[in-house]
Structure 1
């Protein structure tokens, strides 16, 4: 019995499958093109984030170029010098090759030097706090939450340890740091107990908070929105619950929030002294700190 030739049908199915894969790839690439353009970093919410993104992408491009060169040379050596059937014994053994050894010593040193130069240049700009700020906020890290002293308005806000229940609505219970849009903000970073680290991924900057030491970080906000913040330094059993929100709002809304804190009686500055709390299983680690003497 003659077999039916279904090759045209198979060809059509193959073309349809390839077309579907191409369409899927195009959709996927279009969806991640924005993320790809910033090297899959979080969308920046400060002017400093643009500088970090540019350095990040440049370093990735350089690393990929070096990687492609190394991979290419490796594959070329494998193919070019593969063992042939008529080969007998080992190939000639070389103890050293001075020009090549100098090459693969000097080039990596030069590459590290270039990376160091651009990193140091950008780090100097990002850590420069000499400009006059529009707003100064003292952020205090503690096991395992945050206090915010709004220095210019002489009001404060305070948080408690987050209870991560896995249910909706937890974000609304987190301490929230308010910042005005299009403003230069200086964060004065201190810690009550152990080393913490102030990190807002959307700002693409973080800085340690060391007990007994004052660190400063300056950020220029550039767009409104609500962003996540967290501690980036392992600081104890409940480090993962040390979360907060950041709201970048209009100046009018920021002033309203300052007035609201003042109306609640949260005036003055919270104490910055070191205070290790006794922790009981299942209980929040925070005990309310009241301003001393009407605020200091």
Structure 2
């Protein structure tokens, strides 16, 4: 009886400590240590879904790991060879209930992860029927071009032509953020992003959006989301693409719809009207033997 009481009294501070530890979790921990800001749940209409899938997955896997580790340690202690014992222990085989258990449970876990992942992926990748903003993004070594497409009249589209991130003088690793390519997005509007590459494989990654997708030569990929929080977010290429891959950076500014239209008007006033198309691609392995300069001049 005394032993049981001691165990109970010992369990009380352990339980209290566990509750305090869980209550003291930071927002970053609750988000599963995903990259980006501490609170990324409401940045787009997809981030809550992504955070939920991620955190649920690692909590389940952590629980499975604790059970497995506990059983391994328990078996190693309880069934260890004791002093004076000789020979082999009793050999067990054909425990059918146990074999069914350790076959069925992993299968259920795998099917469960697959089902939830497929459901969330289908929702994230579902195209918008009538997007409010369509932007074609070109990745190029080592910068970005943005075409803000006017669906009603493509000739009235506007563009932004970016340059590689510029390192500040006398400052190791510091970047001049004022010269970073900047992608503007309207808050609360359905955005369709078209992704293409001008040269080699790249990957378009807006860190806080928890969403990235490859940009492959000769293929166009798509992203669909609704920005829901005003602010400035960081982006980068997530595919090793050459010598200055680390400087292939950009910014994303989520602004109000009126500010978004004002920005498009600014590009128009600067004479950046039209589309930066495939004529600026630098690939030389297309099914012809023309240099990019020749091909570009012929398309004008």
Partner of 1:14: none
2:178 corresponds to: 172
Question: Comparing 68-77 with 91-100, which one deviates more in the overlay?
Answer: 91-100
Q: What do the CA deviations read for 1:211-270 (whole angstroms, capped 9, x no partner)?
A: 111111111000100000111112222211111000001122211211111111000001
- Distance (Å, rounded) in 2 between the aligned partners of 1:94 and 1:73: 17
Give CA deviations for 1:35-83 in whole Å, capped at 9, x if unaligned: 1221122332111011000000110110111011101111211221122
Query: Structure 1 pair 273/213, CA: closer, same or farther in 2 (3 Å)?
Result: farther
CA contact (8 A) 1:141 1:196 kept: yes
- 1:164: Cα distance to partner? 3.5
Q: How far 1:131 moved relative to its partner?
A: 3.3
Within a 5 Å distance, the mapping from 1:224-263 to structure 2 comes to 224-263=230-269
Question: Does 1:158 find its partner at 2:161?
Answer: yes
1:200/1:228 contact within 8 Å kept: yes
How far apart are 1:273 and its partner, in Å?
3.8
TM-score, with normalisation over the residues of structure 2? 0.79
8 Å CA contact 2:165–2:175 kept in 1: the answer is: no
1:52-91 matches, within 5 Å, as 52-91=50-89
Q: Deviations over 1:83-117 (max 9, x none)?
A: 22231222123455443333222221221111000
TM-superposed CA distance for 1:277, in Å, is 7.6
Distance 1:277 1:164 in 2: 27
Aligned-residue Cα RMSD (Å) equals 2.6
* Number of corresponding residues: 258
Residue equivalent to 1:282: none
By how many angstroms is 1:195 displaced? 1.5
Question: Counterparts of 2:231 and 2:57 in 1: how far apart (Å)?
Answer: 29
TM-score (norm: length of structure 1): 0.80
Evaluate the alpha carbon distance shift between residue 124 and residue 212 of structure 1 in structure 2; reply closer, same or farther with a 3 A threshold: same
For residue 274 of structure 1, report the CA deviation from its aligned partner: 6.2
The correspondence for 1:136, drawn from 134, 137, 146, is 134
Matches within 5 A, 1:1-296: 30=24, 33-41=26-34, 42=36, 43-44=39-40, 45-94=43-92, 97-152=95-150, 154-165=157-168, 166=172, 168=174, 170-273=176-279, 275-276=281-282
SS in 1 for 2:195: strand
